[in-house]
Amino acid sequence: MTCQRLLKINEQLFHKRCNKDAEFRLLQCCTTCNKYDGSAPYDAVAESLVAESCFDRYGTEFCE
């Protein structure tokens, strides 16, 4: 419901987040982004978004 609301209230921000924000696109609003005509196809954008924003939230010290 929140994803659809953002699309209706601020389509420009929704468009940007679908195509630039990995967590938003792949987890939070996956279905809504995939149905939205203004977003890049899932297969085309998923790998690049993950590669750009892949990091360990706990930091390197936690993993050692």
What are 3-42's pLDDT values in tens digits?
Answer: 999 999 999 999 999 988 888 988 899 999 999 998 888 8
Q: What is the pLDDT of residue 41?
A: 86
**What DSSP line would sit under the chain, residue for residue?**
-HHHHHHHH-HHHHHHHHHH-HHIIIIISHHHHHH-TTSPPHHHHHHHHHHHH---TT-HHHH-
Task: Note the pLDDT of residue 7.
Answer: 95
